[in-house]
């Protein structure tokens, strides 16, 4: 019997790796759902929550739209809390959807732009980057969905949102005002308050020593690292920030009674 009541589960590298499902983790999650509240998160801002939900449900994991937190959800929530304003987007459907849902005006041209959100954008152009930087230099709030330099697609790494954010950072000569996704602990604050939990009741499950584990450590909740995604055992051996638990996959975590 563990002390946890809520599992905050990363999707990329845990449920799927690019387009390939991680079957052992899925089997375990289906069992874990009977015992724990499970909330899902991803730094990937390109997918809408509905798309994430569809991919999760397709393999028999139950969830609902409000239990899915993408970095787009967090970025749009930040604007909602700070005050709606004209927003320019470097990104894909996941960001647009969350802005539309909240009635945040989306603009493709100036002159007045209050926020610039920068996320992964596979339709990126020089023109978009140029506009984004210009608006930031003219006073728009600079929001990054996340700063992951790469993300795994099959067995290769492709440039992530961090590469795009860095381009703009170089132009404007400063850091983003807000980075919505992991390792920012903001999502933990939201979830802990929403479900009225103590920190001891939350377990973060993820595959990254750069996002999931430091987020959990900074916030003061336990972390379980699974080796089904971006982290190798070798990398783990050299890591400065260690997770509370490590398992090859979630089935192993179940058999060894970690959860
Ligand atoms: Mg991951």
| pLDDT of res. 155 | 77
pLDDT value at 1 more than 80: no
Q: What is the CATH number of the domain that holds 192?
A: 3.40.50.1000
Cα 250 to averaged position of ligand 1 atoms, centre (Å): 14
| 2 pLDDT higher than 90 | no
Ligand 1: centre distance to CA 64 (Å) = 20
What tens digit of pLDDT does each residue of 123-134 get?
999 999 999 999
Percent of the chain with pLDDT over 70: 100
Look at residue 48 and tell me if it is in a domain.
no
Look-up: residue for tokens 């972390």? 223
For ligand 1, the distance from its centroid to the CA atom of residue 53, given in whole angstroms, is 16
Q: Which helix or strand (DSSP H or E) is residue 254 part of?
A: helix 250-255
Query: Following DSSP, what letter does each residue of 76-106 receive, concatenated?
Result: HHHHHHH----EEEES-HHHHHHHHHTT--B
User: How many domains, the chain?
Assistant: 2
Q: Which domain range does residue 29 map to?
A: 6-43+182-255
Domain boundary among 179, 198, 222: 179
Give 212 Cα–ligand 1 centroid separation in angstroms: 7
What's the whole-model pTM score?
A: 0.95
156 and 85 share a domain?
Answer: yes
Calculate how far, in angstroms, residue 231's C-alpha sits from the geometric centre of ligand 1. 9
82 plus 170 within the same structural domain: yes
């Amino acid at each position: 019997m563990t002390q946890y009541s809520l599992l905050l589960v990363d999707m990329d590298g845990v449920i799927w790796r690019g387009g390939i499902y991680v079957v052992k983790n899925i089997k375990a999650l289906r069992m874990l759902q009977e015992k724990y509240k499970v909330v899902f998160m991803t730094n990937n801002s390109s997918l809408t929550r509905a798309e994430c939900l569809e991919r999760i449900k397709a393999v028999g994991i139950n969830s609902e739209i409000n239990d899915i937190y993408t970095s787009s959800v967090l970025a749009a929530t930040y604007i909602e809390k700070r005050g709606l304003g004209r927003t320019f987007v470097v990104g894909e459907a996941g960001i647009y959807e969350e802005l539309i849902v909240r009635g945040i005006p989306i603009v493709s041209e100036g002159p007045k732009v209050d926020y610039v959100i920068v996320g992964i954008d596979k339709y990126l152009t020089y023109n978009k980057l140029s506009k984004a930087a210009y608006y930031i230099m003219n006073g728009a709030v600079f929001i990054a969905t996340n700063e992951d330099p790469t993300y795994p697609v099959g067995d290769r790494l492709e440039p992530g949102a961090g590469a795009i954010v860095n381009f703009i950072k170089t132009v404007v000569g400063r850091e983003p005002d807000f980075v919505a996704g992991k390792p920012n602990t903001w999502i933990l604050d939201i979830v802990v308050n929403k479900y009225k939990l103590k920190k001891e009741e939350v377990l973060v499950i993820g595959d990254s020593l750069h996002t999931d584990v430091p987020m959990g450590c900074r916030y003061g909740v336990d972390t379980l690292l699974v080796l089904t995604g971006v982290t190798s055992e070798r990398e783990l051996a050299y890591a400065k920030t260690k997770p509370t638990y490590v398992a090859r996959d979630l089935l192993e975590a179940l058999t060894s009674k970690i959860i």
